Amino acid sequence: MKKHAQALMEMKGRTPIAMLTAYTCPVARAVERASIPVILVGDTVGMVEMGFDSTRDVTIDHMTYHVGAVRRGAPETHIIGDLPYQTDKDPDTALWNARRLIAAGADSVKLEGAKTEVIRHLVDNGIAVVGHTGLTPQTAKSFTKVGRTEQEARQVLEDAIAIQEAGAFMIVLEHIPYDLGATLTDTLRIPTIGIGAGPDCDGQVLVINDALGLGDYWPPFSKQYAHVSRTILQVAEDFAGEVASREFPNNIIAFPGSGKA
């Protein structure tokens, strides 16, 4: 059963919320089978799947393509679609782009920063919004932890409260000191989902490619549960060797329903 915004909000203080990103249909299918209640189709797709150096290169067309793929793989899971760089630059632009993500299959949208007018406009028009503060990659000049000085920490707290008051139903906290993650989680009514924000958040999110070990860089706060890039290398080498030796296509091995894990 798909959890809508209200049901996710009600998990605060009751059940830790697990969130993973997904960008493709087969990955989304596995994530849904694992009963993860919420999938983020993040603009990290630009970096971890498309080879860009920054999330700023991601467009709304890229996002609708990936939201659609994830929706087809996970029909019963709450999907958050990220609004890419500048697609939320003013309230009307944001509403237009948010509607595109919803039409592609998202249940809610996420945007970076305390853009309170934008958030309020989306919510007033019936769109569920997830906030995002701390490190906000679309505008960050460096990827170091945010909120280490007292002044910076106060700014993150003020921004998070403003995002909540503007109507966001949940908030992602990225790369902040763990005690600040705990303070925010205590202060806010809405669930906090941490990525590098410590163990006291209401939930945790990982970029699935990082969790899978699919890539060549991982942020210090992620955890690799597998090493899929090594598996791909092994498969490619095995296949190349079998073509060279004319072993393939003999002894074909098929895993029935393997696409369904």
Task: Report the interface residues with ligand KIV, using CB under 6 A.
Answer: 21, 40, 42-44, 82, 172, 174, 195, 205, 207
Q: Clarify whether 165 is annotated catalytic.
A: no
Q: Which partner in Na ion, ligand KIV, none is near 172 (CB below 5 to 8 A by kind)?
A: ligand KIV
* 216 annotated among ligand-binding-site residues: no
Min. distance of Cβ 103 from ligand KIV in angstroms?
Answer: 20
Nearest to 74 by CA among 26, 139, 16, 121: 26
Kindly tell me which of 138 and 164 has the beta carbon lying closer to ligand KIV.
138
Gap between the Cα atoms of 175 and 171, Å rounded: 13
Contact criterion met (CB below 8 Å) for 44 and 55: yes
Query: C-beta of 131: minimal distance to ligand KIV in Å?
Result: 11
The annotation status of 186 as a binding-site residue, yes or no, is: no
Q: DSSP secondary structure string, 24-93?
A: SHHHHHHHHHTT-SEEEE-TTHHHHTT--SSGGG--HHHHHHHHHHHHHH-TTSEEEEEPPTTTTSSHHH
165 is known to lie in a ligand binding site: no
> Which residue of the set 152, 174, 242, 247 is catalytic?
174
Smallest distance from the beta carbon of 245 to ligand KIV, in angstroms? Answer: 42
95 binds, options Na ion, ligand KIV, none, Cβ within 5 to 8 A by partner type: none
Q: Which is nearer to ligand KIV, 166 or 170 (CB)?
A: 170
Min CB(195)–ligand KIV separation in Å: 5
Is 44 annotated as belonging to a binding site?
A: yes
Distance CA 156, CA 150 (A): 10
For residues 214 and 133, what is the distance between their CA atoms, to the nearest angstrom? 26
Contact present, 54 and 245 (Cβ < 8 Å): no
* DSSP secondary structure code for residue 169 in this structure: S
How far apart CA 77 and CA 117 sit, in angstroms, is 28
Structure tokens at 98: 């948010």
State which residue, 188 or 193, has the beta carbon closest to Na ion. Answer: 193
Closest distance of CB 8 from ligand KIV, Å: 15
Q: Which is nearer to Na ion, 66 or 121 (CB)?
A: 66
Q: Taking phi first (over 0 means left), then psi (-120 to 50 degrees means alpha), and beta for anything else, what does residue 168 get?
A: beta
| Contacted by 183, from ligand KIV, Na ion, none: CB < 5 to 8 Å by type | none
Using CB under 5 A as the criterion, which residues of the chain lie in contact with Na ion when the complex forms? Answer: 42-43, 82
- 110 has binding-site annotation: yes
Identify the burial level of 120 via C-beta atoms within 10 angstroms of its C-beta, where 0-12 means exposed, 13-18 middle and 19 or more buried: middle
Q: Of 164 and 209, which has the nearer Cβ to ligand KIV? A: 209
Q: How far apart are CA 140 and CA 200, in angstroms?
A: 24
Sequence ranges of the binding site: 43-44, 82, 110, 112
Name the residues annotated as catalytic. Answer: 174
Sequence ranges of the binding site for Mg(2+): 43, 82, 112
Sequence ranges of the binding site for 3-methyl-2-oxobutanoate: 43-44, 82, 110
